Structure 1
Amino acid sequence: MKTMMKLFLAGVALVAVLGPARAEDKPTIEIMSSWTSGGEAAALNVIRTEFEKRGGVWKDSSIAGFGAADAAFQNRIVAGDAPGAKQGVIGLAAADFVNQGLMNPIDDVATAGKWADTLPKSIHALISYNGQVYLSPTGAHGESWVFYSKEAFAKVGITEEPKSWDAFFSALDKLKAAGIVPVAWGGQAWQQTKVFNMVLLSQVGIDGFLKIYVDKDKSEASVEGVKKTLDILGKLRAYVDEGSPGRNWNDATAMVITGKAGVQFMGDWAKGEFTVAGKQPGKDYGCMIAPESEGMVYVADALWFPKTGNAETDKAQKLLAEVVMDPAVQVEFSLKKGSIPMRGDVDKSRLDACAQKGLELMSAGKIVPDQAIVLTPQQVGALDDFVDEFWSDASADAATSAKAFFEIFE
């Protein structure tokens, strides 16, 4: 008995010396993201919960607004104090960091998880550089959506989704006459560019859109397509409220949720806000692709993994990359975020009606890339400035501006 007691006390003493397992002994990672709205935060928490379940320690460094988050990230990189992971868009911005040797590859995780077999070929190509995988994709978003309040539509007698721009403006007139804000407008440059793009796709089609953004085509047909787009964009000015300048996208979504506004042009991440508010697609709100559009603009998010010089962080990065691509996590994340899972082998039956529509378009190849995927960060900034200047100047001539549009590629 005395021997057993001595062994017990010796064990207690050893624990006292060593202490409990420390957080720093676990895979620890700092995440920088711009996902701060209700739906975005809920989606990010899906990844966090699973990461922590697998023994990881999560440090959140979320910053509202992806422009502010990107600037903060770049400052951290320059200062030699990179975070362990960054949420960002798949595209040329990520490629720039990879080509500068600032990112860690996660090719071993991708190979073990057979990502090449489960991701669309175009997406796998976009997360790969020089034969290695660097990004862990979280989900794809459609950006050609018009969300509308079923209550507001019913109140003014709009019984079906407008199929043409003429019918759409007629519906907006009814909302305006009833004292309802027709369009919940997010008056920030990036949001206005999203609207420009979805209208552009409706005017020039998939081939025309790719000619403009990928081939930098300046033909008469392309110039005319941009002019028609600006005509429609300019016409929308008469249907927004005075409080629109500077409005955050989720605040605009809230206007539709509460029935204060009729419609909002936004990517399908807006669904996350409806979900958090307890609203159901088809019952409380509707989702339609922009009038006259044969497809949708898409953007894809991913986690990037900067080099930090810390071996423990490297391990945490690989654990996080694995978690993000877990089939169950992909579905749960998408349900909260409003996105479409990137993996092709997940249970799609749980996706809502809006996500199913987007999935059909993606599966049929009726998609075109967001400008962040095919343009340099500098060109993206120039495009935002171009659209913002046109929107802010009610006297701007669409024909003249259409010719000036192509200067963003120079």
Structure 2
Amino acid sequence: MNSRRKPLSSPHPLGAALLLAGLVATAPARAGEVEVLHWWTSGGEARAAQALKATLQAKGHTWKDFAVAGGGGDSAMTVLKSRVVSGNAPAAAQIKGPSLQDWAAEGVLAPMEELARAEHWDDILPKAVAAQMKYQGKYIAVPVNVHRVNWLWANPEVFKRAGAKLPTNWDEFFVAADALQKAGVIPVAHGGQNWQDLTLFESVALGLGGADFYAKALVKLDPDTLKGPLMEKVLTTFKRIKPYTDKNSPGRDWNLATAMVIKGQAGMQFMGDWAKGEFIAAGGQPGKTFVCLPAPGSAASFSYNIDSFAMFKLKNAANSQAQKDLASAILSPEFQQLFNLAKGSIPVRLGVAMDKFDDCAKTSATDFNAAAKAGTLLPSIAHGMAVPTPAEGAIKDVISQFWNSDKMTVKDAQAKLVAAARTR
């Protein structure tokens, strides 16, 4: 099955929104070209990428699309490394989390501090977000949005037919899953890819263990926490979900799993709020044709995934100016609203009006701002935000092996997690 879904070809208010936002063409003295590497290839994501492209073109520059399919971005990073090593880096690349600092340390990124100071990025970004965009105290990337990862998506009509209740804790989840299964519906739509397995796992960890446990286990990688009794409970609950998925799950892309919920083939999906872009692209309405709620037990927590772009050093002056114009446009209030309405995420810039956003986004924004003020925002380990890439990859492998193995015990998995956490 083709996992790359084409951008919508039907008329969409994107063009009107661009005009209303006042993003008219203001061609610079010398127009440049920006080749942009990203992995936004599904329906809702493609719409969001189109918004970014249109914004750059409105400034008179040329956008050269370099899309690499794969929701977790692993394939894109492999391609990026080969391009940089060969001396042919793209102008801009979607990079995030600790990987940003790794690239900056290589000396291949273009400095963004001058632009950041001129446009007061320290004042318009949450401190936790700004810190991740810096290397040695200076900006080396621009954030685009904020995704909440610990979401559960559900089809309310399917739940109604099955006589099931939307779950708020894990006991209720398993009651609902049994009811859906009895009604002949796949309870959980899941894509059997390692990043999706880890996405589900981190929601279980957050829901059962809370913010402090999550931070110790999956951000600080504390060995005592990884081999402790609460992690044992998390792993046991995680594996208990497996029978509620279908046999065709292995290798399925995330957006195809979302489509199962949209079509009523499945009742639920654990996925970040980029899934909402798929529901919206299919004509869905929040609270009516689909429901968003925090993953069981995690309502008081916020695990985040932030898309960001790093700019690579270029020799062409016009292209370098195009890079700066792209970064400036990304953090404009108009673009922040336009892009995130299409992507399903929320603005990363503080103070953007939320009146045009749906209830899922408003809830997400309220919880994000509260967590930012309280200093309790939690970076997603499954989405490259929490730990160095080698450790993240090793942990992904352990969780997927445990999910797919009938022989690996919980104690075995805990021992392997402790070893994986040491990977550097």
Q: TM-score, normalised to structure 2's length?
A: 0.88
Which of the numbers 39, 43, 51 marks the counterpart of 1:38? 43
Which of the numbers 98, 111, 122 marks the counterpart of 1:92? 98
Counterpart secondary structure, 1:155: helix
Which of the numbers 349, 359, 378 marks the counterpart of 1:368? 378
- Asked if 1 retains the 8 angstrom alpha-carbon contact of 2:133 and 2:139, the reply is yes
- Asked if 1 retains the 8 angstrom alpha-carbon contact of 2:169 and 2:207, the reply is no
Trace 1:392-407 onto structure 2 (pairs within 5 A). Answer: 392-407=404-419
Counterpart secondary structure, 2:228: helix
- Asked if 2 retains the 8 angstrom alpha-carbon contact of 1:198 and 1:296, the reply is no
Q: Which moved more, 1:262-271 or 1:43-52?
A: 43-52
Counterpart secondary structure, 1:288: strand
Q: Distance in 2 between matches of 1:395 and 1:350?
A: 50
Seen in structure 2, the aligned counterparts of structure 1 residues 105 and 351 have a Cα distance that, compared at 3 Å, is: same
Q: Does 1:250 align with 2:260?
A: no
Name 1:337's counterpart in structure 2.
343
Q: Does 1:390 align with 2:402?
A: yes
Runs of 4+ in 1 over 4 A off after TM superposition: 22-25
Aligned length: 387
Q: Which consecutive unaligned segments of at least 5 residues does structure 2 have? A: 1-26
Counterpart secondary structure, 1:304: strand
Q: Does 1:76 align with 2:88?
A: no
Q: CA deviation at 1:341?
A: 0.5
Counterpart secondary structure, 1:70: helix
Trace 1:306-385 onto structure 2 (pairs within 5 A). Answer: 306-365=312-371, 366-371=376-381, 372-385=384-397
Trace 1:222-261 onto structure 2 (pairs within 5 A). Answer: 223-261=228-266
Deviations 1:102-143 (A, max 9, x none): 100112221222111111011111111223211111001111
Which of the numbers 283, 302, 307 marks the counterpart of 2:288? 283
Deviations 1:313-363 (A, max 9, x none): 211110100111111111111111111100112111222111122122212
Q: CA deviation at 1:27?
A: 1.7
- Asked if 2 retains the 8 angstrom alpha-carbon contact of 1:110 and 1:133, the reply is yes
Q: Which consecutive unaligned segments of at least 5 residues does structure 1 have? A: 1-21
Q: Which moved more, 1:368-377 or 1:255-264?
A: 368-377
Counterpart secondary structure, 1:328: helix
Q: Distance in 2 between matches of 1:62 and 1:317?
A: 18
Q: Does 1:120 align with 2:126?
A: yes
Deviations 1:69-118 (A, max 9, x none): 111111000000000001122x1111101011110011222122211111
Name 2:157's counterpart in structure 1.
151
- Asked if 1 retains the 8 angstrom alpha-carbon contact of 2:125 and 2:348, the reply is yes
Name 1:51's counterpart in structure 2.
56
Q: Distance in 1 between matches of 2:419 and 2:29?
A: 51
- Asked if 1 retains the 8 angstrom alpha-carbon contact of 2:379 and 2:385, the reply is yes
The answer to which structure has the higher helix fraction is 1
Q: Distance in 2 between matches of 1:264 and 1:41?
A: 21
Seen in structure 2, the aligned counterparts of structure 1 residues 221 and 301 have a Cα distance that, compared at 3 Å, is: closer
Q: Does 1:209 align with 2:206?
A: no
Amino acid at match of 1:86: A
Q: CA deviation at 1:395?
A: 3.0
- Asked if 1 retains the 8 angstrom alpha-carbon contact of 2:200 and 2:270, the reply is yes
Seen in structure 2, the aligned counterparts of structure 1 residues 324 and 284 have a Cα distance that, compared at 3 Å, is: same
Seen in structure 2, the aligned counterparts of structure 1 residues 220 and 129 have a Cα distance that, compared at 3 Å, is: closer
Deviations 1:134-166 (A, max 9, x none): 1111001111111000110111112x4212211
- Asked if 1 retains the 8 angstrom alpha-carbon contact of 2:226 and 2:418, the reply is no
- Asked if 1 retains the 8 angstrom alpha-carbon contact of 2:28 and 2:60, the reply is no
Seen in structure 2, the aligned counterparts of structure 1 residues 24 and 394 have a Cα distance that, compared at 3 Å, is: farther
Amino acid at match of 1:185: H
Q: TM-score, normalised to structure 1's length?
A: 0.91
Deviations 1:213-269 (A, max 9, x none): 333322268622221111111111111111100000000000001111000000100
Seen in structure 2, the aligned counterparts of structure 1 residues 76 and 156 have a Cα distance that, compared at 3 Å, is: same
Seen in structure 2, the aligned counterparts of structure 1 residues 239 and 133 have a Cα distance that, compared at 3 Å, is: same
Q: Distance in 1 between matches of 2:221 and 2:249?
A: 32
Amino acid at match of 1:53: A
Counterpart secondary structure, 1:387: helix
Trace 1:259-274 onto structure 2 (pairs within 5 A). Answer: 259-274=264-279
Q: CA deviation at 1:24?
A: 12
Q: CA deviation at 1:25?
A: 4.7
Percent sequence identity is 36
Q: Does 1:132 align with 2:132?
A: no
Deviations 1:31-75 (A, max 9, x none): 111110011110111111111011111100101011111111110
Deviations 1:262-313 (A, max 9, x none): 0000010000001110101101000111111231311111111011333222
Amino acid at match of 1:364: A
Counterpart secondary structure, 2:37: strand
Name 1:16's counterpart in structure 2.
none
Greater Rg, structure 1 or structure 2? Answer: 1
Counterpart secondary structure, 1:182: strand
Q: Distance in 2 between matches of 1:213 and 1:230?
A: 13
Seen in structure 2, the aligned counterparts of structure 1 residues 214 and 183 have a Cα distance that, compared at 3 Å, is: closer
